[in-house]
Amino acid sequence: MSYSVIKGAGYILVHVPGMVMHHGTTQTTEKVVNPGSDYLKELPSHMRSYEDCLAYPPNQTYIGNLPIDDLAQIPEPWADKKVEKPERFGKFGEIMPEDEFILLMQACDVFDLVRLDKKFVAKTLPKLKEHPLMNENILALIKEGDEAAEIKSAIEDGAEALIFADKAVGYVKRAHDVDVNLSAHVMFENLVSKASEVLSVLHLVKNAGIDAADVDYMIDCSEEACGDMNQRGGGNFAKAAAEIAGLVNATGSDTRGFCAGPAHAIVEAASLVKAGTFKNVVVAGGGCTAKLGMNGKDHVKKGLPILEDCLGGFAVLVSENDGKSPEINTDIVGRHRVGTGSAPQAVIGSLVTDPLAEAGMTILDVDKYSPEMQNPDITKPAGAGDVPESNYKMIGALGVKLGQMERTQLPAFVKEHGLKGYAPTQGHIPSGVPYLGYARESIMSGKTKNAMIIGKGSLFLGRMTNLFDGISFLVQANTKKDEKKAAAPAVKVPVIGIAAAGYELDPQNLVDAVEFAANKGCKAVIIDGEDCHAKMEAMLKSGEIDGAVTSHYPFPIGVSTVGRVVTPALGKEMFIACTTGTSSTDRAEAMVKNAIYGIIAAKACGIEEPTVGILNADDARRCERALLKLKENGYSFEFAESCRADGGHMMRGNDVLRGTPDVLACDPLTGNLMMKMFSSFNTGGNFEASGYGYGPGIGGNYGKLILIISRASGAPVIANAVQYASQLAASNWLKISGEELRKAQRAGMNDILEEMRSEGKHAFEKPAAKVKAPAKETVTVDIHGVEVTDIDAAVESLWEKGIYAESGMGCTGPVVMVNEAKAGKAEEILKEKGFIA
């Protein structure tokens, strides 16, 4: 089914200095706690005129008159800069003056709560009638007005004043005598949000060239809530705004998520359209009076004008695929899960690198990122810095950590993939969506191919949870036009580079390996000369090669390689995880991660349900306990059973030789030794003649397909490594990697590993006092699963409970031996104390 598309966008600002002074929470709070403050005295002299607001460069960018790239060329700060010949109307929307907006508020009031001064109406209505989008239906909702004395009396009686040019020109009254949810203050905020949303939708309908009657669903994603004492946030802003905007065939609902609300709403809209439930869905959000002048104290202190003097609004139309508009790729959606945590790396990973990795992409594959697009003129004086730039640096830094680019590329990444912030600090308004209008234009013109929209929100503000929140989605060039191409396009054969760094055997082996690989249907090229690793990196980055085979490559911590051998007893292939690299500095944790990396490699090579065995070595039992917990928590995989009579998940020498498991989890030093023995035992150790080499580096979101071979590898091994790399590239191994790691994380892998680290290898200490063994009994039952380093502590813990026990060493490792009659109780004690799983 085709993806839904962005059919159009509308963006509006409303200059409301009167509302800044009397309804922004920074000012209203100051009036209560410090009514005579210097800030309140100085504030009026820092308010901007409508003309200054209109000429402010970021405002002109927001409505589409000043391209983002042009804004970036204007030296910061912009507060003292003006655009020559600024226009009220732009290609996306407009900057409306406060007096006209007050009339629009009354037009949006269907309960006669907004009353206006008749002289004010008489003076302002002719201006509004000139507005190109104000039709007769809207204008008919504006009443003649009341006498000034009536306005004054109502305000003195508790109504919320509507102030224009320092004069009360109307009021909003309460909608219920005792219900605080319908107080004059709440109704004022909600009508402001509704009216600014209506204005946004009107511009959207014009910009998208759609008949308003063709919209069949609307989603509001503002930050206000409407309802009464029985359902404080019952809604419905969406349907209320749709009514005034003339969307006569639309139904709708409200979506809330603090600043992440718009991104959530657009993903919902895209899904509704893709599913065929609705054809045209509008997502819109109105402005927020509470945030007006939010950073005013810092601006006044630094001699700046009050820059937060505008309400913001936006509207986006999500429609069925028309074959030309940019698509919302709902297969590439990042999301901050309940278990993600709030660490910056975890947040950026969940929203950016994780969804990209699942799609086989890196951060460099996205042309532009749009996170919180807040205007740095506003945030820097308040100490919050340049918010968009900080986001780009975090994305880039994670890319560096994952090996997707070099640290020296970070400044260029910020410049090339980032955007200058220009949106008002209206909470949800700057959160990713301001760029959608520009993104649509850029993608349709071919200037860029895609953009990632990132919405983030702080849920603690509602005092229901301390969790962070966020969601992202990818907007891309339309692909529907490609669907009618040939039914059976030629399958691209991956190109694999062979970087001959430090190769010790006859170079003819490399030439032979290319030929052998070609006989297997694979394509390889030799990368030689000085600094061939740098050449290899450049070719990978440019896409000239899809993967590489090389030797002695430095992988970052967290990445390890998965080797592939042919076992001698039965000729069965087996993946050894791992053979080089360091997935973790803790051996047991590394073995757990290696098991998952091995599953990834095996699945990418066509084994749908690979079995996992654990090499019977130090920390094997700790690894087993962790894998068992993962399995219990829902991570689906199957353990291999030892070929020995007593079975179990521990793989002995017989199992290794026979290839009992598909994936053998072990530590890298042991894995490296086994790789060398498997690969070179039939040459007496002179060179490696069998197998597929030490395999690809896998871990986290590591995005380079680089496989390791020994410098003493013969042509057959090199050719097999090329085949291994080709299989991984063709199967989209990065997507498989992302999916598997996601599954493991959802099963609590991070918590399990953290618990393992906190316990430590020697977590089980002997009792402080010397424990005397109970009377000796015949011990005939072996209890397996205790680490050798914990065996004495395990025995003494049973002595403490009056159970005689001895330690011993069985074929599978250390055992605790007890009397058959007490075996059940002994196991319960050892499980309770954490010695066995």
Reported as a single tens digit per residue, the pLDDT across 399-455 is 998 888 998 999 999 999 999 999 999 888 999 999 999 999 999 999 999 999 999
Per-residue pLDDT at 768: 55
pLDDT per residue as tens digits for the range 64-105: 999 999 999 999 999 999 999 999 999 999 999 999 999 999
CA dist 324 and 264 (Å) reads 24
CA dist 418 and 527 (Å) reads 34
Q: By mean pLDDT, which of 187-201, 549-563, 587-601, 628-642 is the weakest? A: 549-563
Alpha-helical (H) ranges within 209-290 are: 237-245, 261-274
Rg (CA), the chain: 33
Give the whole-number percent of the chain exceeding pLDDT 90. Answer: 78
Confidence bin at 373 (pLDDT 50/70/90): very high
Known catalytic residues? 811
Per-residue pLDDT at 427: 83
Q: Do 665 and 576 touch, CB atoms closer than 8 A?
A: no
Q: SS3 helix, strand, coil % of the chain, rounded to 5?
A: 40, 20, 40
Per-residue pLDDT at 700: 82
One DSSP character per residue, 682-719 reads GGTTSSB-SS--SEEEE-TT----EEE--TTB-HHHHH
Q: Which domains does the chain have, with CATH numbers?
A: 5-482 (3.40.47), 495-757 (3.40.718.10), 763-832 (3.30.70)
Confidence bin at 483 (pLDDT 50/70/90): low
Nearest to 293 by CA among 281, 284, 304, 282: 304
CA dist 660 and 665 (Å) reads 12
Nearest to 451 by CA among 422, 475, 479: 475
Strand, coil or helix: what is 175?
coil
Per-residue pLDDT at 788: 65
Report phi then psi at 254, rounded to 5: -105, 140
CA dist 501 and 527 (Å) reads 9
Per-residue pLDDT at 403: 85
Per-residue pLDDT at 506: 92
Please state whether beta strands 450-458 and 468-476 pair in parallel, antiparallel, or not at all (unpaired).
antiparallel
Per-residue pLDDT at 486: 43
pLDDT per residue as tens digits for the range 26-65: 999 999 999 999 999 999 999 999 999 999 999 999 999 9
Question: Distance between terminal CA atoms of the chain?
Answer: 46
Longest dimension (CA), the chain: 106
Nearest to 709 by CA among 511, 512, 548: 548
Per-residue pLDDT at 811: 47
Length of the chain: 837
Per-residue pLDDT at 461: 83
Higher-pLDDT residue of 598 and 487 is 598
Give the mean pLDDT of 221-237: 93
pLDDT per residue as tens digits for the range 317-344: 999 999 999 999 999 999 999 988 877 7
Nearest to 492 by CA among 541, 537, 536, 546: 546
CA dist 753 and 558 (Å) reads 13
Whole-number average pLDDT of the chain: 92
Per-residue pLDDT at 172: 98
- Looking at 261-419, which runs of residues are DSSP E strands? 280-285, 310-319, 327-335, 368-370
pLDDT per residue as tens digits for the range 577-604: 999 988 887 889 999 999 999 999 999 9
Please determine, for residue 762, whether its predicted confidence score (pLDDT) is greater than 50. no
